[in-house]
Amino acid sequence: MLSRRWIPVWLCILASICSTVAAASSGQENIKSGNLSPDNIRLASLSAAVIDLETAKPLLQKHSDIVVPIASITKIMSAMVLLDGKQDLDEKLTISREGFSSSKNAYSRLRPGSKLARGEMLQISLMSSENLATFVLAANYPGGVNAFIKAMNDKAKQLGMTNSTFTDPTGLSTGNQSTAMDLVRMARAAMKYALIQEYSTTDKRTVTFSHPRYHLNYRNTNPLVRKGEWDIALSKTGYLSEAGRCLIMLTEISGRRVAMVLLDSYGKRTPVGDAGRIKRWLTTGEGGRVSKVALRYERQKLQTYNIDLASAQNI
C-alpha cells in the first residue's frame, strides 16, 4: 500500500499518462474525422502538400500545383532509377569530376581518383546530399549520364508526374522542376524501396575510401532525423538559391502515416518549422506563427510566379 506522501506523485504521473493518451487520441480523431481547418495553419513554404498515405487523400495543400525548381529533392528520383538498374552495389567506382557541374553548390570533399562502393555512394547521396557521388552514380549507369536522365524522366511519366522535368541527376540544375503533388507521387513510389528508406534516414556515417585510403564523416542534412524525435520513414532536403529550402518526408503522426512536401522556404530552418506547424495542426487542430521575414519572402516569390496576392491561399 502506498504511503500518503507518495499518493500525490502517483496522481501526477497518472494525470500525465492520461493527458498523453488523450492528446494522441485527439490527434488520431483530428486526422480521421477530416474536420481539420486549413484556416488554422499558416505555412512559410511557398508550395506544400500533406497527404494521408493510407487513403491518398490530401490533408493540406498550398499552391501544390506550381511548377518550381526542386534542388536536391531530385536525388530521390535518382536513387529509384539507380536501384531499378540493379547494378552491383558492392562494385567500387572511381570518383571523377569529368562533366560534373562547376556551380557554387557543387562543392565536394571526395578526392578524384579514389574509389567507393556504389551502395555507399548512394547512401551519402541520400543522407548527406553528396552531389559528386550522385553524379558518379549516373556516369557509371549503362549509357552514362544522358541515359540516366532519360530514365529519370521515363520514371516520372510512369508515376504520373505530368508536371515534372529532370535535366540532371543531382538537383544542381534549375531545370529540375516539379510540383508538390507530383513529389508526393514520387515519395509514395520511393517508400517501396527499402534502401531509400534506410539510407535517407541514416543519422550519421563514417565512410572509408580507397586508392588512396581515407575516411570522411557524414551526417543527415535533415535535423529532424538527427534529433530522433520524429518517426521518419523517408527524408530528403534540398537547396538552391532559385529553389529556396525544400523538404520531403514520410512520417507518422498520431498513428497515421503522412507524406509532407515543403518547397521554396526562406531560411535554413523554415521547412523544419513548417513541419512542426503541420504536426501541431494534425494533433491539435492549431498551427503556429510564421515570421514576417518568411512571409515577405513568400510574397516576393508569389509575384515571381505571377500569382495574385489577393487570391493566394492563406495558409
In the beta sheet, which residues pair with residue 219? 204
Classify residue 138: in a domain, yes or no: yes
CA atoms lying within 13 Å on the CB side of residue 288 = 14
Classify residue 115: in a domain, yes or no: yes
pLDDT digits (tens, 9 = 90+) for 225-269: 998 889 999 999 999 999 999 999 999 998 899 999 999 998 888
Classify residue 246: in a domain, yes or no: yes
User: For position 309, what pLDDT does the model report?
Assistant: 61
Classify residue 3: in a domain, yes or no: no
Q: Report the pLDDT averaged over residues 200-211.
A: 97
Classify residue 18: in a domain, yes or no: no
Classify residue 272: in a domain, yes or no: yes
Q: What percent of the chain lies above the pLDDT cut of 90?
A: 72
Residue 114 lies in domain: 37-311
Determine the angle formed by the axes of helices 118-128 and 131-139, rounding to 10 degrees. Answer: 140
Could you say which DSSP state residue 53 is in?
T
pLDDT digits (tens, 9 = 90+) for 81-140: 999 999 999 999 999 999 998 777 788 999 999 999 999 999 999 999 999 999 999 999
What is the chain's mean pLDDT, rounded?
88
Q: Is the pLDDT of residue 159 over 70?
A: yes
Q: What is the CATH number of the domain that holds 215?
A: 3.40.710.10
In the beta sheet, which residues pair with residue 253? 256
User: For position 103, what pLDDT does the model report?
Assistant: 77
**Locate cell 551526417: which residue?**
219
User: For position 35, what pLDDT does the model report?
Assistant: 65
Active site (catalytic) residues: 72, 75, 129
Q: Report the pLDDT averaged over residues 141-170.
A: 98
Residue type, 188: R
Q: Is the pLDDT of residue 13 over 70?
A: no
Classify residue 143: in a domain, yes or no: yes
User: For position 22, what pLDDT does the model report?
Assistant: 41
**Which has more pLDDT, 19 or 305?**
305
Order of strands across the sheet with 256-265? 58-62, 47-52, 256-265, 244-253, 232-240
Sheet strands (E) in the chain:
47-52, 58-62, 68-69, 92-94, 115-117, 177-178, 204-209, 214-219, 232-240, 244-253, 256-265
Q: How many domains does the chain have?
A: 1
Q: Using H for helix, E for strand and C for coil, what is the string for 170-202?
A: CCCCCCCEECHHHHHHHHHHHCCCHHHHHHHCC
User: For position 32, what pLDDT does the model report?
Assistant: 46
Please tell me the pTM assigned to this model: 0.87
Classify residue 220: in a domain, yes or no: yes
